[in-house]
Structure 1
C-alpha cells in the first residue's frame, strides 16, 4: 500500500498539471452525480398574431396596417411580462415555488437559499423560468425548470395561461380606449335624430297636417276656384240686375252667395298670408326648419355609424391572439445537470488556467535569467 502511495506521489510530481486536471474532473463528476439536485424542463412555443394579416376595408376603402413588425413587438411585450417580478410573485402564490426550490440537501449552488427574500427569489427565477424570442422563426419559446417533471409542466402551463390573460388585457384596452369614444358619438347622434323626429311629429300633430307644401298648394287652388265662382256670380248678378230689382229673391240669393264666397276667399288667403303668426307661411317656415334639423341629424348619425363600423373593423384587425405551437408535456428525462458538457467545461477552464500559470512561470524564469 505504501508503495502504491509513493508511486502515485512520484507521478503527481512528474505530471502535476494532469493531476490537477484529473482532480477537477473528479470533483466535477462527484458534485454533479452525488450532490447536485437533478432538474427537469418543460418547453412550450407560442406565436402572437393579429386578426387581420391583410389590409382591412369598409365599403371598398382600404385601412392600412401600421407596424410591419407588430408580431415581434407583441411577442417581446409578452416576454417582458413573463420575465417580470409580478409574474414571479404570481407563480410563487399559485404553486409555492419558494418551498419547491428550497431543497434541504448539500446542493447550495442550484437550490434556493432557505432565507431568500423576494429579490433573491426573483433573481433565482430568472435562471429557472425563461422566455426567449426567436427572431428567425418568429416564435416565443417558454421554458420552465423544476426539481420534478410534474412541477416543470405545471409552471409551463401557467406561463401560457398568464400570457393569454396578458393578451386578453391588451385587447380589452384597445377596444375600450378606441371603440368607446366612437360608440358614445354614435349614441349622441342617435339621440339627436330621435329628438328631431319627435319635434317634427309634435308639430304635425299640433297643426293637424302632414305636409305644409301640399296644404299650401291646396289653399292656392281653393282660392283660385272660389275666385272663379265669385267672378261668375258677379257677372250673373250684373246681367240680372238689368231687368230685375234688388228686392227680388233671385238677386238677393246671388248677393248672399257673393258675400259668402268673398268671406271664404279671405279666409283661404289668410292661411297663406305672411302677416299673421298662425299663417300658412309661418307654419311652412317652421316645417322647413324642422325638416332641416331632421336631415342634419340623419347625416350626423350616418357619419357616426360609418365611423363606428370603420373603427370596429380596424380594431378587430389589430386584436392579438396567442397561438400555442408546442404545448408543454411531462418530460421524465432528467435535463440537468448536463454532466458531460459541464465536465468538459470545467476541465477546459482548468486547462486554460494551468496554461496561463505555466506561461507566467516561464516568463518569470526568463526575466530572472
Structure 2
C-alpha cells in the first residue's frame, strides 16, 4: 500500500516535470509569470478601496416673468443654473478645492497611511510628495460628473477607509455650497451696487436740471411762459372790449354831438387803451424778451427736468427691486443623497484583475507566436 502510494507520487512528479519542461519560455513570459504576479498583487498586496457617493442638484428659484425695468434686473441676476453646475463641478476637480480640502492635512493623512500598499500609498513613489503630485494623485480618486439628462451631479470619492471616503465627500460638498453662496453674494452685491450707482447718477441729473430751470426763471423773469401768456391774452381781450366800447361811444358823439366836450376825452381814452394793448401784445410776442421768445428755452429746460425726475423715479424703483431680489438666494445646492459610508470595499476587482491579466497574456502570446512564425517562415 505504501509502495503504491510512493510509486504514484513519483509518477505524478515525473509527469509534472515533463509538462513543465514542455512549457515554452514565451508562454511563461507572456502568460504564466504575469498571471502569478497579478495573483500575488491582487491577492495579497492591493489595498481595499472604499467609494463614497453623494448626489446633488444646483437649483434656481422659480419666479414669475418680469417686464420692463424689472426684467432687466432679474434677467441680470437670474440666468439658468447650468453655469453654476459646471462651476461647482470644475471647482471640485480643481487645485483650489484640494488646497481647501487639505487645510488640516485631511487628504495627506487619508492617503499616506502606513497600512496602504506601497503601490497605492501617496508619497511612496519616486516623484515625491509635492502639491502637484498630490493633485495628480487625487484626480483619479475624486470625480464630480454632471448628468444633463437628470440634472444631477454625482460626487465619488475613493479612499482606503470608509470614514476617510465619507469625510472627504462631505467636506467637498460643503465647499461646493460655500462656492455657490459666494457666487450668490457677489451677484447680489454687484446688482445692488449697479442700481445704487444708477440712483446717484439720476439724482445728480435731476439736481442739475432743477438748478438750470431755476436759473432760467431768475434770469428771464418768468415762472411759466405758457400760463403767463394765457393771463396776458385774457388781459388783452379785456382791453380790446374796453376799446371797442369807447370807440363806439366816441363814434356816436361825433355823429350826433361833434362839439360835445366828451369827444376829446374819449379820443384820449381810445388812444390810451390802444397803446396799452400794444404793450401787452409786445409782452406776449415780438422779441426775445417776450413770453413767446422765452418759451422755447423754458420748455427745453422743463422737459429735461421732467425727464430727470422720471429717471430718478425709475432708478429708485430699480434699487428697491434689486434689494428685494438680493434678499433671496437665487442659486443653491440641494442634496439628493448624503455622502455614503461604504461597508464593503468596491475595489479592486481581484478575480477580474487576475482573469484580465491571464486573458491579456494569452492574447499577447498568440500575437507574438503569429509574428514569430511569420518571421521564421519569411527567413526560410
- Do Structure 1 and Structure 2 share a fold, with TM-score over 0.5? yes
Distance change (3 Å), C-alpha of 1:270 and 1:147:
same
Aligned to 1:46: 56
Match of 1:58 among 59, 64, 67: 67
Match of 1:343 among 333, 340, 354: 354
Distance change (3 Å), C-alpha of 1:147 and 1:242:
same
**1:288-313 CA-partner distances (Å, limit 9, x unpaired):** 2223324554687799899999x99x
3-state secondary structure, aligned to 1:93: coil
How far apart, CA to CA, are the structure 2 residues paired with 1:358 and 1:77?
52
2:89 is the counterpart of 1:79: yes
Q: 1:39: Cα distance to partner?
A: 2.5
3-state secondary structure, aligned to 1:58: coil
Aligned to 2:120: 110
Q: 1:113: Cα distance to partner?
A: 1.8
Matched residue pairs, number? Answer: 348
Aligned to 2:297: 286
2:227 is the counterpart of 1:214: yes
2:330 is the counterpart of 1:325: no
Q: After superposing the two structures, state which structure 1 stretch, 124-133 or 4-13, moved more.
A: 4-13
How far apart, CA to CA, are the structure 2 residues paired with 1:256 and 1:365?
145
Aligned to 2:259: 242
Note if contact 1:182-1:308 (Cα within 8 Å) is conserved in structure 2: yes
How far apart, CA to CA, are the structure 2 residues paired with 1:360 and 1:283?
106
Match of 2:16 among 11, 24, 29: 11
Q: 1:320: Cα distance to partner?
A: 5.8
Distance change (3 Å), C-alpha of 1:322 and 1:9:
farther
Q: After superposing the two structures, state which structure 1 stretch, 322-331 or 207-216, moved more.
A: 207-216
2:109 is the counterpart of 1:96: no
Note if contact 1:12-1:19 (Cα within 8 Å) is conserved in structure 2: no
**1:3-60 CA-partner distances (Å, limit 9, x unpaired):** 9799557525425599997886675455445443322211123344666799x6636x
Structure 1 portions without partners, runs of 5+: 313-318
Note if contact 1:219-1:268 (Cα within 8 Å) is conserved in structure 2: yes
Distance change (3 Å), C-alpha of 1:368 and 1:296:
closer
How far apart, CA to CA, are the structure 2 residues paired with 1:169 and 1:184?
22
How far apart, CA to CA, are the structure 2 residues paired with 1:28 and 1:57?
65
Pairs within 5 Å for 1:86-235? 86-105=96-115, 107-114=117-124, 115-134=128-147, 137-167=150-180, 188-189=201-202, 191-200=204-213, 211-230=224-243, 232-233=245-246
TM-score normalised over the length of structure 2: 0.65
Note if contact 2:206-2:309 (Cα within 8 Å) is conserved in structure 1: yes
Q: After superposing the two structures, state which structure 1 stretch, 201-210 or 92-101, moved more.
A: 201-210
3-state secondary structure, aligned to 2:52: strand
How far apart, CA to CA, are the structure 2 residues paired with 1:11 and 1:53?
80
Q: 1:101: Cα distance to partner?
A: 1.0
3-state secondary structure, aligned to 1:332: coil
3-state secondary structure, aligned to 2:297: helix
How far apart, CA to CA, are the structure 1 residues paired with 2:135 and 2:108?
10
Q: After superposing the two structures, state which structure 1 stretch, 120-129 or 84-93, moved more.
A: 84-93
Structure 2 portions without partners, runs of 5+: 1-5, 324-329
Note if contact 1:42-1:153 (Cα within 8 Å) is conserved in structure 2: yes
Q: 1:263: Cα distance to partner?
A: 7.4
Distance change (3 Å), C-alpha of 1:349 and 1:299:
same
How far apart, CA to CA, are the structure 1 residues paired with 2:149 and 2:297?
70
How far apart, CA to CA, are the structure 2 residues paired with 1:12 and 1:350?
23
2:286 is the counterpart of 1:274: yes
Q: 1:157: Cα distance to partner?
A: 2.1
Q: Could you say what the CA RMSD is over the residues aligned between the two structures, in angstroms?
A: 5.3
